[in-house]
Amino acid sequence: MTPIVVIAGRPNVGKSTLFNRLAGRRLALVDDTPGVTRDRREAEGRLAELRFRVVDTAGLDTAPAGSLADRMRRQTETAIGDADICLFVIDARAGVTAQDRQFAEIARRSGKPVLLIANKSEASAGEAGRLEAYELGLGEPIALSAAHGEGLDALYEALRPLIGGPEDGGAAEADEEFEEQEEAPPDRPLRLAIVGRPNAGKSTLINTLIGSDRLLTGPEAGITRDAIAVDWEWQGRKVTLWDTAGMRRRARVIDKLEKLSVGDALRAIRFAEVVVLLIDATQPLEKQDLQIAHMVAEEGRGLVLAVNKWDLVDEPGRQLRDIKAEVQSQLSQVSGVAIVAMSALSGRGVDKLMPAVFETFRIWNRRVPTAKLNRWLEEQVERHPPPAPGGRRIKLRYMTQANARPPSFVLFSSSAAELPESYLRYLVNGLREAFDLWGTPIRMHLRKARNPYAGRK
């Protein structure tokens, strides 16, 4: 079993920088603002031949019971309890603080092996703080600079007896957190991103789905900052759930940290296979919801609309009709998209979400045989012939599916550039009806058919 290494310490000591260093890529948001990380973030970590699961945590901080900072601290304590090894990080340049002493005691009480990291020790800047760290009683401090990659050899020597090398003795590459492949192996988890405006209930939904308070939740808007991956299994099928930061209108995103958070959410959308857009039933389908849906469709991802807080709606029947009508008129790129009314907090209707997700995933992967496509094309042309600009009718010669994920088709015509957008919409709508391609983006590419007599005398 892969050992779990958790990184803990007070805010702004460089935990996320060390996490990114061990993960081998920039995953966690890093900023000078204290308290950037709020939820646990996990990735495959590596140090030379050592392989482990590395967990970034929120900064340990003292706070009133029930406050956001207190909930963050309890999340970190849970992560320490679940881990096999704890890397306790201090800022060597700042020296040992009262908070360091308090939370070193929490790490010690966990009963797990604790390695004391004196971070920001580049050159001799943190030597005094490193020596001061002996008083924490956690053994010899490891001088390290996560930002510059200095001291990793000493960390390796300390971790090696606790972890050991990989069982197969090899040096297999760590899995990419965001891995883009044309076809998904059958045993690979479905990548599912949960997106929406701030305070729509995204983290609450994931906690309800997995049956655990894995993600930080609360009444405050904008709690989630990083895109957090959670591995899960639904009815025997593996799923990687992505919780993302709330996405406001671009004009309102001024703060640097919020820009980083939204960028992380966009990255999650690009590498997801299906995206659940969570809408607040008390403020349904605002302009920002539609913009996010358009963005998902432009990225070619499968889309499911989940209408949260449905238990607060007075006239659910009328509300659902209004939402469906709005979707039909505003989201033609994903016509027929699945709509699930639910309450993430109470769990009502949540059981309908994953069947809709996997049905959308199935449609998103669908392939149509070329023979069927061309028989269908003949019928469509016969029912509604293409226009005849200048008195000469456009001929549609051949059609094939170039790709799935999403379904993408190539239409060959000697006058491809003259085919109007309205006729393309007619063909796309016909494809949806004939081959059950509802709720997924459809790509239609035009190619000019080659003239078989070109170049002949």
pLDDT at position 260 is 59
- Residue-wise pLDDT for 384-407, tens only, equals 999 988 778 889 989 999 999 999
What is the model's pLDDT at position 173? 39
Distance CA 418, CA 416 (A): 5
Regarding whether 215 and 320 lie in a shared domain, the answer is yes
Is 321 part of a structural domain of the chain? yes
Residue 325 pLDDT > 50, yes or no?
yes
Residue 175 lies in a domain: no
Contact between 241 and 206 (Cβ < 8 Å): yes
Best mean pLDDT range from 78-82, 263-267, 431-435: 431-435
Same-domain check for residues 119 and 67: yes
Query: How much is the pLDDT for 87?
Result: 93
221 pLDDT exceeds 60?
no
Using the predicted structure, report yes or no on whether residue 270 has a pLDDT greater than 80: yes
Report residue 263 as tokens.
Answer: 């960028």
Q: What is the pLDDT of residue 64?
A: 58
- Same domain? For 348 and 379 the reply is no
Residue 453 within a domain: no
Same domain, residue pair 128 and 197: no
Percent of the chain residues topping a pLDDT of 70: 79
pLDDT at residue 122, rounded to an integer: 83
More confident residue, 210 or 171: 210
Give the CATH number, domain containing residue 378. 3.30.300.20
Is 135 a domain residue? yes
Residues 357 and 375 in one domain: no
347 & 198 share domain: yes
- What average pLDDT score do residues 113-138 get? 86
Q: Are residues 351 and 374 in the same domain?
A: no
Least confident of 82-91, 210-219, 268-277, 344-353: 210-219
Domain assignment present for 256: yes
With respect to residue 262, please indicate whether it lies within any of the assigned structural domains.
yes
Query: What's the domain count of the chain?
Result: 3
Q: Which domain holds residue 229?
A: 190-364
pLDDT band at 455 (very low <50, low <70, confident <90, very high): low
| SS3 call for 410 | strand
Mean pLDDT of the chain: 82
Q: What is the pLDDT of residue 82?
A: 85
Are residues 343 and 222 part of one domain?
yes
Indicate whether 264 pLDDT > 80.
no
Q: Check whether residue 199 and residue 331 sit in a common domain.
A: yes
- 130 or 238, which is more confident: 238
Higher pLDDT pick, 104 / 376: 376
Q: Over the stretch 17-73, which tens digit does the pLDDT of each residue have? A: 899 889 887 665 444 444 445 567 888 898 988 999 998 887 666 555 656 556 666
CA distance 405 to 272: 11
Residue holding tokens 């094309």?
Answer: 377
* pLDDT, position 179: 42
**Per-residue b or e along 87-107, where b marks 16 or more CB atoms closer than 10 Å to that residue's CB:** bbbbbbbebbeebbeebbebb
pLDDT category of residue 170 using cuts at 50, 70 and 90: very low
Residues 292 and 320 in one domain: yes
The answer to the question of residue 426 being in a domain is yes
**Statement to judge: residues 20 and 152 lie in one domain:** yes
Task: Specify whether 235 is located in the same domain as 358.
Answer: yes
- Written as six digits, the tokens of 324 are 């469906």
- From residue 111, give the alpha-carbon distance in Å to each of 53, 99, 193: 19, 20, 35
Q: What is the CATH number of the domain that holds 143?
A: 3.40.50.300
Helix (H, G, I), strand (E, B) or coil at 107: helix
pLDDT higher than threshold 50 for residue 168: no
Last residue of a domain, one of 305, 339, 364: 364
**Closest listed residue to residue 267, CA positions, set 193, 215, 331, 200:** 193
Instruction: Tell me what percent of the residues of the chain surpass a pLDDT of 90.
Output: 43
Per-residue pLDDT, averaged over 159-183, amounts to 52
pLDDT higher than 90, residue 310: yes
Among 314, 330, 364, the domain boundary falls at: 364
**Domain final residue, candidates 300, 329, 364:** 364
- Give, to the nearest 10 degrees, the angle between helix 202-210 and helix 353-364: 100
- What 3-state DSSP class applies to 425? helix
Q: Could you tell me if residue 454 is inside a domain?
A: no
3-state SS, 317-363, equals: HHHHHHHHHHHHHHCHHHCCCEEEECCCCCCCCHHHHHHHHHHHHHH
